[in-house]
A = this chain, B = another copy of it.
Amino acid sequence: MTDAAVRPNKPATSKRTPAGGAPTAAHTAEEASEARIDVAAVTRALLGTWADTRLEAREMIKDPAFWRVDGMPMPEHRERVLTQLHLLVEAGGSRRSFPKEYGGLDNNGANLAGFQELVLADPSLQIKSGVQWGLFGSAIYQLGTKKHHDAWLPDVISLALPGAFAMTETGHGSDVAAIGTTATYDPETEEFVIHTPFRGAWKDYLGNAALHGKAATVFAQLITGGVNYGVHCFFVPLRDEEGAFLPGIGGEDDGVKGGLNGIDNGRLHFDHVRIPRENLLNRYGDVAADGTYSSEIASPGRRFFTMLGALVQGRVSLDGAATTGTALALYIAITYANQRRQFDSGAGTDEVVLLDYGKHQRRLLPRLAQDYAQFFAHDELLKKFDGVFSGTADTPAEREDLETLAAALKPLSTWNALDTIQEAREACGGSGFLAENRLVGLHQDLDVYVTFEGDNNVLLQLVGKRLLSDFARQFKGADAAALAKYAVGQTAGKLFHGAGLRQLGQTVTDFGSTARSVELGLRAEQQHELLSGRVQQMVADVAGALRPAARMSPAEAAAVFNENQTQLIEAARAHAELLQWEAFTDGINRLEDEDTAHVLTWLRDLFGLSLIEKHLAWYLINGRLSTQRAASVSRYIDRLCARLRPHAQDLVDAFGFAPEHVRAPIASGAERARQDEARAYFADLAASGELPTSEKALKKK
């Protein structure tokens, strides 16, 4: 393993001498005079607002103690990751988000930025840290009050108190409001009785529950005085000093999983477990000694979503970690594709470098463009998260936007991670299937990102509903004339978009010089028009289809909604794609170097055009593209791929990974060494006159 991380013998990175040696140099003589990117500047842009913390985390995880060891049996892997968490504490990595009075740094953005980088070391480390500090610790901090902070936060931060976050049940995942666990208040003893009434209400899939958790933040239906006040969170001790379950508590190990086997996921159940009244994490709802319930938030629904919203950081961090994990896969596959040769071209010359094949470019470069878009979009998300949680921009509207943004971006980036890692693995052939080359492990570990912290489809449906309510708001109090205007067509779209989630006109002020993004009427402006127009119309279409439901019985209305569920989810996806495109464009506009912006504009165009190609049928059916222009999209993408090909190594070098982050032998330069050796062998043989004649040549004589 460690051998792979030895720094390959390559020249220092500079703007005109890209890292990685020969294959990353300009591809042809012509291209040598073309724009090249400033790799270091792009790295800074990709690392975003909290670049320093990211670099600090990357420096820390150069230590092999943090690395995933392939094939390590589950029990050892779990202990190894627990040890890594202690190392993280020693390095100060556990305290960034917590308040200064408990030794923290009160820096939410930096916390997530640093934490996400752990995915490069071992995703199990990233997620187990997330369980301890992002979920268990955050529940205490965000849902509890000072007495809870005083009692537990120092031990949470120091890992003296490892804990589980007991929300999900076997019977209920995404539908948290329907969980079965009860917390019934007993005024006689001033205790809550935590109880699991049936098997489906067992808490399940909880990290730290199988082995290491000493306590848990348990979500349960709060019942007092015969009334169910809905889901609240309680601090419940689980195990004694020897690690044995306390009375009334039981559980099971979830066993082997598809990945993340360094985490001890498990199940918990409670048989009338009594905890003090004070253990209710009471920031948003409290029960007095006599059993009286009180809350600042009158609406049960709003209270529930406020509590869940306080835990949004999980989704934010998965977006970032998925984006970084995807970048690693792309670095490995593109570096290999830039060195590996296979088949001669029929032109009688040398075997062809994989990345010179049209199909290979098509497989990898649009995914590279997508990941760039994600980096820029994630930084926007992280800034919004930091604004809300630092209090500098903490309004209900900002919170709602943050939650919607996280729910929009996390599904796309986590799905894209799986898609890209898989394509990268296939693009590396048999060597991609070896664990040492990282790709299969990344896929296995990141697999569950698409369904945890909110199932991706459920999250997109939430976004879709938000879009529908934004849409409806446009027409609230609108007079007949305004509605008629909408009915005519296009203006409604603009109206809607102006007040939509993204205040478009304010942020995307300049699409860059038209000379950059060029041809075919598919410049930045047209890309934006096509992408945003699609969101508008899809939302309007679904809204129109759902309108009759308002006059139907609940059962009929549910059926109509169900018929449009797929379309609503697609509209949400279109919205998220637009956000990514806009963030990418904004990011390019902030670049200072002209040549760098030039190349990145091609990459942004590749992203935009790939989205349009993906939805081409929609554009045609809805008359947004002529068949002629539609037919040109794919060819244009092919040309963009060819144009970006000489920059591919620069673009993945710009992710800024050190060999200790990559650790894949096939991306270490070993493949190039092998190719060079083989070519030298044949050249020497030919020079010495000892190369056997080919049978074909013999027959010609």
B residues in contact with A557, CB < 8 Å = 346-347
Minimum CB distance partner of A460 in chain B: B359
Q: Does chain B have a CB within 8 A of A616?
A: yes
A249-267 Cβ-contact flags toward B at 8 Å (1 or 0): 0000011111101000000
Q: Does chain B have a CB within 8 A of A688?
A: no
With the chains together, A205 CA to B692 CA distance in Å? 28
Q: Does chain B have a CB within 8 A of A558?
A: yes
Copies in the complex: 2
With the chains together, A624 CA to B225 CA distance in Å? 68
B residues in contact with A617, CB < 8 Å = 613, 616-617, 620, 630
Inter-chain pairs besides A71-B261, A175-B342, A197-B681, 11 sampled, C-beta below 8 Å:
A228-B695, A256-B436, A257-B434, A293-B695, A345-B554, A346-B558, A347-B553, A356-B562, A418-B422, A432-B451, A623-B627
A606-642 Cβ-contact flags toward B at 8 Å (1 or 0): 0000000100110011010001001100000010000
Q: Does chain B have a CB within 8 A of A180?
A: yes
Q: Does chain B have a CB within 8 A of A548?
A: no
Q: Number of residues in A with C-beta < 8 Å to the partner? A: 110
With the chains together, A356 CA to B559 CA distance in Å? 10
Q: List 24 A-B contacts (CB under 8 A).
A: A70-B256, A73-B73, A171-B674, A172-B342, A178-B351, A197-B681, A201-B678, A205-B433, A223-B692, A256-B434, A256-B436, A257-B433, A258-B441, A258-B443, A300-B699, A345-B555, A347-B553, A347-B555, A347-B558, A357-B565, A358-B565, A359-B566, A444-B444, A621-B630
Q: Is the CB of B430 within 8 A of A258?
A: no
Spell out A's residues near B (CB within 8 Å). Answer: 70-71, 73-74, 168, 170-175, 178, 180, 197-201, 204-205, 221, 223, 226-230, 254-259, 261, 293, 300, 342-349, 351, 356-359, 362, 418, 422, 425-426, 429-436, 439-441, 443-444, 447-448, 450-452, 455-457, 553-555, 557-558, 561-566, 569, 613, 616-617, 620-621, 623, 627, 630-631, 638, 673-675, 677-678, 681, 692-696, 698-699
Q: Is the CB of B436 within 8 A of A455?
A: no
With the chains together, A681 CA to B692 CA distance in Å? 82
Minimum CB distance partner of A677 in chain B: B198
Q: Is the CB of B430 within 8 A of A227?
A: no
B residues in contact with A345, CB < 8 Å = 554-555, 558, 562
Minimum CB distance partner of A76 in chain B: B73
Minimum CB distance partner of A623 in chain B: B627
Leading 10 A-B pairs by shortest Cβ distance: A258-B440, A71-B256, A616-B617, A256-B435, A345-B558, A228-B692, A347-B555, A200-B674, A347-B558, A347-B554
